């Protein structure tokens, strides 16, 4: 069997920025075992698979280790493939996912995605979190992930995580965040998912479903610009709408080919 595969740099304005995701359009679902093997072979933080329904697309995401319930950058990449490569002619794409319906639109070179917001709540910092980060956060919260709020962007950049320690935690991963230093950037972050064999994710859309509500409360505004300070970096425009978050960013083609299984 031969399948089309696309690799897209999501939340990027040029190649080698943002977060690379693989996208595989399917006519019918393959076995979970096969999907997981493809994701492991791709060895990217996420591989997205979608199948067309009557008026929507079923969408699933796999890391090299496991299927996940929500992924922002691979959703953006899937939308880019549909609009750009597969010539989807509608105004809005509906993806049916484990996190419910997700909507994607395109305006020029910018994609906008409608995601569920997740409100982080204050929690006591587990020992493995403190040991794994090597720094005592100003505040610790949890939602999908543990969220460690640091005092400054300088503190965030200095963190050298112990991934073995962080992999012992019971949440999906760990997000560290701090206020941005520039007038343009509201907040910054880094994201660690060693349990999913993604030690540091370059740009993590789903993390901003947690971060945007938190920083919206701190700054008393609903429109924020975020920057993820991984080695590749990327910008995410966030906008709160009640219990939903709009995430906006660009996408850049990197690879188009086929795989044989």
Which of 2, 14, 40, 46 does the annotation list as catalytic?
A: 46
Is 46 a residue of the active site? yes
- Coil vs helix vs strand at 15: coil
DSSP letters for 17-78: SSEEEEEEEESSPPPHHHHHHHHHHHTSS-EEEEEE-SSSEEEEEE-SS-EES--HHHHHHH
Element spanning 34, H or E = helix 32-42
Q: Rounded to an integer, what distance in angstroms lies between the CA atom of residue 174 and that of residue 129?
A: 8
Question: Which residue, 71, 83, 13, is CA-closest to 44?
Answer: 71
34 token code pair: 């096969």
Give the total residue count for the chain: 261
CA distance 260 to 204: 29
Indicate which residues carry an active-site annotation: 46
């Amino acid at each position: 069997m031969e399948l089309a595969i696309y690799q897209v740099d999501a939340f990027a304005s040029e190649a080698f920025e943002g977060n690379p995701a693989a996208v595989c359009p399917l006519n019918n679902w393959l076995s979970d075992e096969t999907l997981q093997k493809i994701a492991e072979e791709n060895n990217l933080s996420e591989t997205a698979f979608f199948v067309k329904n009557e008026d929507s697309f079923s969408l699933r995401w796999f890391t090299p280790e496991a299927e996940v319930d929500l992924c922002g950058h691979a959703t953006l990449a899937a939308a880019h493939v549909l609009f750009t490569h597969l010539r989807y002619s509608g105004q809005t794409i509906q993806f049916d996912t484990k996190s419910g319906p997700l909507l994607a639109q395109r305006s020029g070179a910018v994609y906008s995605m409608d995601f569920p917001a997740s409100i982080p709540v204050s929690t006591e910092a587990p020992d493995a979190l403190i040991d794994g980060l090597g720094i005592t956060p100003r505040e610790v919260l949890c939602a999908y992930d543990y969220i460690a709020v640091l005092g400054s962007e300088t503190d965030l950049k200095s963190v050298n995580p112990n991934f073995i320690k962080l992999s012992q935690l019971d949440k999906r991963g760990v997000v560290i965040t701090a206020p941005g230093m520039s007038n343009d950037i509201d907040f910054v972050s880094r994201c660690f998912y060693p349990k999913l064999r993604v030690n540091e994710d370059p740009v993590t859309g789903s993390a901003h479903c947690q971060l945007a509500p938190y920083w919206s409360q701190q700054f008393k505004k609903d429109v924020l610009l975020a920057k993820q300070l991984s080695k590749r970096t990327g910008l995410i425009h966030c906008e709160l709408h009640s219990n939903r978050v709009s995430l906006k960013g660009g996408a850049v083609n990197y690879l188009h080919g086929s795989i044989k299984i």
